[in-house]
Amino acid sequence: MDKVITISRQYGSGGREIGAKLAEKFSIPFYDNELITRAAKESGFAEAAFENAESKASNSLLYSIAMGMNSYGNQELGFSHLSLDDRIYLAQSDVIRKVAAEGPCVIVGRCADYILKDMDNVVNVFIWADIDFRIERAIRIDGLSPNKAEENILKIDKRRANYYNYHASEKWGRAENYHLAVKSSYGGIDHAVACIKAYIEGSGE
C-alpha cells in the first residue's frame, strides 16, 4: 500500500480513532498531534499556537477579516505581510508535505486533503455520523456535559468548517472534495475502518 490517507471528520464521528486503526492495519505512520509537535519544532512557533489555530475560526467572515483575508495568496505582499495564523498554517503545511513525501501514512485534519491535492497517491476520506452517535461518543470519550453536548459538537464543526473554508478556499464536507465519505454510525468504528481499507485495496494500484 503506497497511499497517503487524509481523514477529515465531523466532531464525535470517531475520525481520529478510525485513522489510527487504519494506520495500524496498514502498518504505516499516523499523524495527528504529532504534526503540531513537528511543525512547532521546525518553525520555532509554540505548540499552543498550532493547537489554537482551528479553535479561533468561529465565524467565517470575522475569521477572514482577522486572518488577513487569505493574504498569503498574494505573492507581491511577501511573507512579512502575513498574519501569525497564516504563517502557522504555512509552517504546518510544510510539515504535512514532508511527512507525505516520506511515504505512506494517515493524516488527520488540518486541511491535509487540500494541501496535498497535487499528489497522485493521496486518498481523501470524510467521516460523518448521526448526531446521537456523536453525542454519545462526545460524552463518553471527551467528557462533554450531556446538557451541552449537541451545542458544543455543532460549534466545533462550525469552527472546523470555517478554518477549512478559509485556508482551502473550498467547502468542508462537500462530497466532491473527497474520494470516499463514510458514515461511522452505520456499522460502527471497526466497520468504517474495514470499509476504507477495502476501498483503498480495491483501487488496483
Burial grade of 152 (CB within 10 A; 0-12, 13-18, 19 or more): middle
Total domain count, the chain: 1
CA distance 72 to 158: 23
User: Which cell numbers hold the place of 186?
Assistant: 452505520
Note the pTM of the prediction, 2 decimals: 0.82
Greater model confidence, 204 or 193: 193
Q: Is the pLDDT of residue 188 over 90?
A: yes
CATH number of the domain to which 125 belongs: 3.40.50.300
In a domain, 203, yes or no: no
Question: pLDDT tens across 119-157, in order?
Answer: 999 999 999 999 999 999 999 999 999 999 999 999 999
How do strand 4-9 and strand 122-128 relate by DSSP bridges? parallel
Domain membership of residue 132 (yes or no) is yes
